Amino acid sequence: MAETIFSKIIRREIPADILYEDERCLAFRDVNPQAPVHVLVIPREPMESLATAPAEAAGLLGHLLLKAAHVARQEKLESWRTVINTGAEAGQTVFHLHVHVIGGRPLAWPPG
């Protein structure tokens, strides 16, 4: 997998507003928020996207979703949206798998 800005955040080469971290993942505020709360949850293990995630990553993927919910509660959200963009046409701009946690305002459907 190619080097990404998220790899640099994990190594603390680029600063981020980190809200949660453990041995498997890291959660930090998005620098281009689309709502009052916009957090990214990323695996420490390099993984480009859901499209390339191996079957043995199932436990890690579940962990990311549970930590997304943890961060949402930590941010005092009662409702939120979790989004995983997969591929450029779906809006993925950083090719290191990440879960968006978006909330703090009403969210329309369908999304943009």
In this structure, what token pair is assigned to residue 30?
Answer: 């998005």
Catalytic, out of 38, 63, 70, 98: 98
Contacts of 22 (CB under 8 A, 6+ apart): 67
Active site residue 98: yes
Q: Which of 44, 49, 99, 36 is nearest to 69 (CA)?
A: 99
**Helices and strands: H and E segment counts in the chain:** 2, 5
Q: Which of 4, 15, 100 is nearest to 44 (CA)?
A: 4
List residues with catalytic annotation.
98
